[in-house]
């Protein structure tokens, strides 16, 4: 969590840093701060609440200077107050530090610092770094050497961190360090950047370089030097970022989420693009496994969190159906703690939009330690999960800024189908004609999505009628079940409504007791083999007073007698229906949140990228 920016160049740093923080605010938004170095020293401003509060504080205030660092916070140690907002400074106000992560041994370090006379001004773990830097820069073998001071401190820190540091006596230097959490360098012309991700500097440069584990970066106007913790210079490749800058702007929409919902047809098109050869055979060279190894796979695990976990559940249906391989889908936060039976012939698929989710990353590390082959399915090129996996399949969804995952889930589900078909093709469980036919079905989805998105106004109207509900249930069967979970998660996180998703056949074993007169129950019932059973379930809940909201297929009248409200989607193959049923669920939750006057993009207590366990 937390967004970090560092800049040194010839522009006014305050503007560059605030602009970067605006783009990173999705990572955390309970307080924010900046520090700018001018001729007289470090100027630091911090404010609790969203970035807008900080912007108001500094507006009209002179903070000249062309070197600056900034931070937008998701609190871990200490509540989100002005005092706990970053940057933190040492006793003399000579060093400013911003930090993403947690320093696990900070209490021991604080005790030592207090004994040595340092005054603590916040409840954060971060502040210790400022005081330690004060000591090491002032004295001893690293005296007067900021990068060496930071390298030496990193050796004493336990936990996860990205640290970005500036010092009043170093007018041409920002220093940053990384362990376990993401840090990217932006390479400009006469100016250079560091940021939590490329959106921090994409408005200024598209040349980026990822910082690896336990590396320290010295950022100067003329260039950037990366070293390991011993000070040895480490070479690395830069890469070009081809994300469209407009994609990271709201483009006239009230919220990013609304824009990102509309971007889904194009996103799916991108995910599918260029995957077929002239013979209509699927190519997924990113999997990077030999045909022999693919044929040797005996089981598949899919590990992920939140909405990505729901995408993984769809992957299970697709891979089991097409490849006849056993697939287990695990919440990444549970995976490594129960000692799963994973070995050499196991394919582990880690699904993560950000590629930085701590739980998923740890699951990847665990799987690799067990000699499994790990494939990352991620949206973020150069992310930690993609780099630590054996191979990476990029979902190509473009930047997703809203905390709620929409086009990311959509493209993850699409990628799950691609993986399923590719494995089936290589293992010979589906013949090439069938793979071609499924790919042809998938290729119709973007147009169907465009059509569906064009008729969402009745769904928005329905959402407004639900705005005062405090509990909503979601039911589905087969691939509709993960979508029921996804619909419930979206409503919880966006509208703070108590919502649960169930397999429809399961409600009679307990959850049906939740139903009272008027309880809204959303049933995902597009036309497919289990629809008759779903209609029974709709009748069961309706008989107990539920208000039934049924998602069905165009032209299908079978469910109409039992539905209080109907949402109709275009027809497609039953296994692919999640790519369509998910859309009204997204629109419903966004509109309920909007009608309740909530911040659709930045729900309370959350952050986009969950980099703590």
Write out the residues near ligand M6R by the rule CB under 6 A. Answer: 305-308, 352-354, 357, 360, 403-405, 489, 493, 609-610
**E strand spans, 418-546:** 471-476, 498-503, 520-524
Cβ at position 580, least distance to ligand M6R in Å: 18
Q: CB under 8 Å to 337, separation ≥6 — which residues?
A: none
Neighbours of 560 (CB within 10 A): 10
What are the CA-CA distances from residue 328 to residues 346, 429, 487 (Å)? 11, 19, 22
Q: CB under 8 Å to 394, separation ≥6 — which residues?
A: 286, 378, 379, 381, 386
Q: Which is nearer to ligand M6R, 19 or 356 (CB)?
A: 356
Q: Which is nearer to ligand M6R, 35 or 414 (CB)?
A: 414
Q: CB under 8 Å to 160, separation ≥6 — which residues?
A: 101, 102, 179, 180, 181, 358, 611, 612
The conformation of residue 140, written as its DSSP 8-state character, comes to G
Q: Which is nearer to ligand M6R, 7 or 481 (CB)?
A: 481
Nearest to 578 by CA among 493, 484, 492, 441: 484
Cβ at position 308, least distance to ligand M6R in Å: 4
Cβ at position 412, least distance to ligand M6R in Å: 7
**Spatial separation of the C-alpha atoms in residues 594 and 494, rounded to whole Å:** 9
Cβ at position 309, least distance to ligand M6R in Å: 7
Cβ at position 397, least distance to ligand M6R in Å: 10
Q: CB under 8 Å to 382, separation ≥6 — which residues?
A: 184, 208, 210, 239
Q: Which is nearer to ligand M6R, 160 or 307 (CB)?
A: 307
Cβ at position 383, least distance to ligand M6R in Å: 9
Q: How many CA atoms lie within 13 A of 424 on its CB side?
A: 27
The answer to whether the CB of 366 falls within 8 A of the CB of 358 is: no
608 is catalytic: yes
Selecting among 2, 154, 305, 323, the annotated active-site residue is 2
Using a 10 angstrom Cβ sphere, with 0-12 exposed, 13-18 middle and 19 or more buried, the burial of residue 318 is buried
Neighbours of 428 (CB within 10 A): 10
The answer to whether the CB of 581 falls within 8 A of the CB of 524 is: yes
Q: Which is nearer to ligand M6R, 404 or 426 (CB)?
A: 404
Selecting among 47, 259, 407, 608, the annotated active-site residue is 608
Is residue 553 classed as helix, strand or coil in its secondary structure? strand
Q: Which is nearer to ligand M6R, 487 or 503 (CB)?
A: 487
Q: Which is nearer to ligand M6R, 365 or 427 (CB)?
A: 365
Query: Position of tokens 């970066």?
Result: 217
Q: CB under 8 Å to 277, separation ≥6 — which residues?
A: 283
Residue 500 has which token pair? 């649960």
Cβ at position 611, least distance to ligand M6R in Å: 9
**Spatial separation of the C-alpha atoms in residues 274 and 192, rounded to whole Å:** 34
Annotated catalytic residues are 2, 608
């Amino acid at each position: 969590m937390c967004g970090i920016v560092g800049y040194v160049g010839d522009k006014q740093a305050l503007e560059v840093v605030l602009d970067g923080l605006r783009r990173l605010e999705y990572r955390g938004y309970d307080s924010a701060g900046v520090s700018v170095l001018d001729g007289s020293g470090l100027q630091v401003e911090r404010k609790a609440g969203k970035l807008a509060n900080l912007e108001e504080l500094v507006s009209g205030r002179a903070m000249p200077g062309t070197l600056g660092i900034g931070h937008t916070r998701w609190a871990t140690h200490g509540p989100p107050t002005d005092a706990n907002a970053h940057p933190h400074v040492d006793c003399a106000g000579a060093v400013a530090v911003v930090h993403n992560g947690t320093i696990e041994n900070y209490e021991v370090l604080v005790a030592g610092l207090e004994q040595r006379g340092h005054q603590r001004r916040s409840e954060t773990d971060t502040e210790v770094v400022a005081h330690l830097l004060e000591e090491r820069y002032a004295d001893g073998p690293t005296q007067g050497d900021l990068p060496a001071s930071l390298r030496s401190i990193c050796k004493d820190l336990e936990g996860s961190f990205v640290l970005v540091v500036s010092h009043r006596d170093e007018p041409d230097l920002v220093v940053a360090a990384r362990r376990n959490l993401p840090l990217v360098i932006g390479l400009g012309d006469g100016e250079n950047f560091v940021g939590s991700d490329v959106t921090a500097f994409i408005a200024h440069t598209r040349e980026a370089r990822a910082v690896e584990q336990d590396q320290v970066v010295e950022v100067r106007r003329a260039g950037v030097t990366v070293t390991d913790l011993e000070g040895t210079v480490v070479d690395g490749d830069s890469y070009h970022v081809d994300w469209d800058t407009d994609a990271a702007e709201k483009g006239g929409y009230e919220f990013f989420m609304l824009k990102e919902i509309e971007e889904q047809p194009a996103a799916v098109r991108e995910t599918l693009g260029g995957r077929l050869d002239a013979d209509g055979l699927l190519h997924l060279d990113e999997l990077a496994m030999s045909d022999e190894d693919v044929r040797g796979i005996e089981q598949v695990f899919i590990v992920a969190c939140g909405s990505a976990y729901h995408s993984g559940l769809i992957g299970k249906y697709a891979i089991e159906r097409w490849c006849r391989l056993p697939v287990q889908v695990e919440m990444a936060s549970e995976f490594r703690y129960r000692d799963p039976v994973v070995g050499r012939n196991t394919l582990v698929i880690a699904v993560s939009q950000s590629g930085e989710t701590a739980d998923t990353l740890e699951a990847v590390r665990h799987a690799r330690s067990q000699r499994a082959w790990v494939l990352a399915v991620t949206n973020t090129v150069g992310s930690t999960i993609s780099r630590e996996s054996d191979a990476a399949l990029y979902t190509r969804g473009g930047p997703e800024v809203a905390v709620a995952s929409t086009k990311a889930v959509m493209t993850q589900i699409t990628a799950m189908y691609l993986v399923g078909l590719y494995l089936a093709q290589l293992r010979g469980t589906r013949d090439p004609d069938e793979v071609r036919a499924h790919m042809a079905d998938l290729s119709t989805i973007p147009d169907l999505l465009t059509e569906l998105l064009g008729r969402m106004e009745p769904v928005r109207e329905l959402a407004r009628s639900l705005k005062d509900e405090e509990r909503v249930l979601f039911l589905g069967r087969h691939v509709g079940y993960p979508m029921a979970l996804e619909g419930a998660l979206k409503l919880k996180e966006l509208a703070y409504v108590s919502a649960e998703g169930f397999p429809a056949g399961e409600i009679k074993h307990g959850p049906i007791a939740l139903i009272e007169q008027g309880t809204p129950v959303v049933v995902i019932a597009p036309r497919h083999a289990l629809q008759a059973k779903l209609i029974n379930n709709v009748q069961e809940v309706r008989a107990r007073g539920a208000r039934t909201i049924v998602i069905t297929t165009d032209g299908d009248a079978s469910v109409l007698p039992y539905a209080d409200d109907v949402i109709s989607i275009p027809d497609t193959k039953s296994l692919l229906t999640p790519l369509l049923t998910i859309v009204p669920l997204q629109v419903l939750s966004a509109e309920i949140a909007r009608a309740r006057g909530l911040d659709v993009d930045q729900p309370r207590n959350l952050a986009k990228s969950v980099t703590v366990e």
